[in-house]
Amino acid sequence: MQAERDFWSIYVIPDIPPPVDGLPPTSEALGIVFPGSGDDEVKPLYRSELLQSYLNLKDQIAALQKEKEHCEQILKQDLGDDVTGECGGYRIEWKPQSRQTFNFQKFNNDHPEMDFRLYLKESTFRRFSIRSEKK
């Protein structure tokens, strides 16, 4: 309970945003607090070191994802047509699964008289991206 009281007195009462922590709820909160209704002018940010760190981490994550995928491919190759394997106290499963999805485009083509806009759910979000400026 003390943590809640501290949070309330440090951040809520003086209306100071809490520091970002890298957790998904914080990203969600940032999207709500800053919905992107500002102008389209380019705002200068003075975070070169942070940006470089972000880009380096992004590259490392991509390399690790590729390495992880490679390991997974080897394990799948070892399993072959088998569904389950064991290794070092772990059970590895590669089970066939199926999923059904609704083909909206085909249904819409087959039933053009129906207005599907009543059934569409729109979500609004801000897409974050970084790209190199072409000079």
pLDDT in tens, the chain (135 residues): 899 999 899 998 999 988 999 999 999 989 888 888 778 888 899 999 999 999 999 999 999 999 999 999 999 999 999 999 999 999 999 999 989 998 888 988 999 898 888 888 888 877 777 777 776
Q: Give yes or no for a contact between 9 and 15, defined as CB atoms under 8 angstroms apart.
A: no
> Which pTM value belongs to this model?
0.69
Q: Could you tell me the CA-to-CA distances from 68 to 65, 74, 78, 93 in Å, in that order?
A: 5, 10, 15, 16
The whole-number pLDDT of residue 58 equals 96
**Selection from 25, 28, 20 nearest residue 54 by Cα:** 20
The whole-number pLDDT of residue 100 equals 92
H/E element holding 55? helix 48-79
